[in-house]
Amino acid sequence: MRRSVLYAHRRICEDAAAPSIPRSYRSGSEVESRTCHMIACVAPVLSSYWPLMMPLSAWLLLLVGAAPLVSVSVGSRAPNASLPLVLWHGMGDSCCNPLSMGSIKKMVEEDVPGIYVLSLMIGKSVVQDTENGFFMDVNEQVSFACNQLSKDPELQSGYNAMGFSQGGQFLRAVAQRCPSPPMRNLISVGGQQQGVYGLPRCPGESSHICDWIRKMLNSGAYSDFVQKHLVQAQYWHDPLNGDLYKEKSLFLADINQERGINETYKKNLMSLNKFVMVKFLQDSVVDPVDTEWFGFLKPGQAEETETLQDSVIYKEDRLGLAEMDKAGKLVFLATEGDHLQFTRAWFDENLLPYLH
């Protein structure tokens, strides 16, 4: 019954999003119209069926690899941490999913007795939080998060931050834009620091949402409407259209200083004690995977990649990353496994030391 209802809703959305316009006459305005129809359809179906749709929510997490898959065993106990921890989940996940971020929060609290852990909720509910990971302007999300942090009395002496998947680059934006309260260590777990030029695999028969997002990105990622209403478009980094990317990207081009140098951004990022980046060596979700270590595709083509150290951002030190690297503030970690898949033992050995 649930499957048939969702399928019917899908067909209604597809029909609404595909007006009978001859291909030769379709334009950017049609892309906006189709996007608007799909946003109007997809958001309600997430809300309306959320209490019934654990299989769908699980699929969403698989779809984007946004939910950490942790193999849990009894871990060692660490001494009390002096700083709280702020978490930001990935796309398709939420602050409080007991199978993902809730599990991470609990694991940290067990490893560090007495630690204060805040898992960011972007919105007024878990449902809104999940939907906003797809459809809320990233700049507005960052402002929303900064407002939460500034009002939390537990964080005023400083905090560490850990972002999963797209939450990794969103928390870096927090570090650059919102220096109070101060962020000490930033841990990006599979974050797309240079953006993406590809969409994740779409397992299962409900892959139409991912397929639709891919179509929107391929046909109009840099249109004003798509940029404003589709989160993933705001860190879509097209190496074949570098000038268009720099001009139109509402989020990534700004925080990566690709339109100009904001000295405040640079100063704030350099104030971090450590910037830790985790790459998953068998990642089948993030494309290119080098973005997890701040590398990316070489400009002007879509085959060869370059490291952070070979990039213009580093050579011109537009973000202060070169200076941070020389000072030992950049930490590059790698682990076997697909996107966000790690064991508790690996977490405790490699990430827990940066939470003190």
Active site residues: 165, 283, 339
264: how many CB neighbours lie within 10 A of its CB?
A: 11
- Helices 166-177/263-270 angle, 10° precision: 110
Alpha-carbon distance of 64 to 203, in angstroms, equals 10
Alpha-carbon distance of 178 to 343, in angstroms, equals 32
153: how many CB neighbours lie within 10 A of its CB?
A: 7
Alpha-carbon distance of 84 to 139, in angstroms, equals 24
Query: In sequence order, which ranges of 166-250 are alpha helices (DSSP H)?
Result: 166-177, 208-220, 224-229, 242-248
Least Cα distance to 138 among 230, 210, 211 occurs for 230
